[in-house]
Amino acid sequence: MDPRVRCVAVDLETTGLIPGHDRIVEIGAVAFSPAAGVEAEFAELVDPGIPIPPVASRVSGITDDMVRGRPTVAGSLPAFLAFLGDAVPVAHNAPFDVGFLAADAARLGLAAPSTPVVDTRALARAVFPDRRSYALEALCRELGLARSAHRGLADAHSCRMLFLACLERLGAAGAGTDPADLASIGGPVIDLAARAPAALATVAGLSRAIEGGADVEIAYESARKERTFRRIQPLSFSVVGGSPAVIAFCRLRGERRTFLVDSIREIRAV
């Protein structure tokens, strides 16, 4: 990587784990280059428009009082995208942050850059193998970097330092550090322009059903590619194996079942 390349490390705090259903409550980002160091910072609390669940507040320390009167994501996201510009985006567990940013950009009709995102979690797995944990806080502790604090800007700085530590290790080993190559480590390349969840409309339909206590009909595809049609009453969202899922009462089976959102091929209101 050209040491003069502008990079932006970003971290979000949210009300939950499901893009399109849960909301952003803080955006933290730091612009830097390997040669010049930190160039600028972006830190903004965001009013999610809904109460912040206690479990989310315990993680980040962000409360309803702190976000009351702050800009909504409609005001914050354009400012962040302008800050990002054409820089190389860097995030830890990038699918999470990028999923939220892309979902809101799609919902608001904002143009998002197609620059590949470097995931420092995937990068650290390749560069520092056999670690007990690849959580940002654990990696920072083991590598002697500043600890993450579960706040946007602090975690963005931790992500920046982890990225630079990975670059240093790769450079010492004589490995390539082209941004496109770094972004492809660990799986398919992701970017804000293409990352808007394909299931965004499905999540929105499930969210409305949860709020209204209503049933919906879904076409569900199993792991064996078998499609069944179910009438369900969505109850809540969850995460199964890193993927969003909905817990619902299945009228066909007469019991609660968990359905992966990405396996719901069709949804319609009853």
Each residue of 25-71: pLDDT tens digit?
Answer: 999 999 999 999 999 999 999 999 999 999 999 999 999 999 999 99
103 and 211 in a single domain? The answer is no
Give the Cα separation of 38 and 16 in Å (integer). 30
218, part of any domain: yes
Task: Give me the numbers of helices (H) and strands (E) for the chain, helices first please.
Answer: 9, 10
Domain assignment of residue 106, yes or no? yes
To which residue do tokens 């299945």 refer? 250
CATH number at residue 21: 3.30.420.10
Amino acid identity for residue 136 in this structure: L
Give the pLDDT confidence of 104-124 residue by residue, as tens digits. Answer: 998 899 988 889 999 999 999
**Sign of the torsion formed by the C-alpha atoms of 244, 8, 13 and 136:** positive
How many separate domains does the chain show? 2
Residue at 42: amino acid letter: F
Residue with tokens 């790769």: 170
166-195 pLDDT, tens per residue? 999 998 877 777 888 888 887 778 888 766
- Looking at the fold, whether 207 and 179 belong to one and the same domain comes out as no
Q: Are residues 132 and 246 in the same domain?
A: no
Domain assignment of residue 163, given as a range: 7-183
Q: Indicate the DSSP class of residue 72.
A: -
Answer yes or no: do 48 and 147 share one domain.
yes
β-strands 118-119, 24-33: how paired? unpaired
- Shared domain for 154 and 210, answered yes or no, is no
Catalytic (active-site) positions? 150
Determine, yes or no, domain membership for 1.
no
- CATH code for the domain of 234: 2.30.30
On whether both 101 and 167 belong to a single domain, the answer is yes
Same domain, 164 and 254: no
Q: What is the pTM of this model?
A: 0.86
- Whether 221 is covered by a domain: the verdict is yes
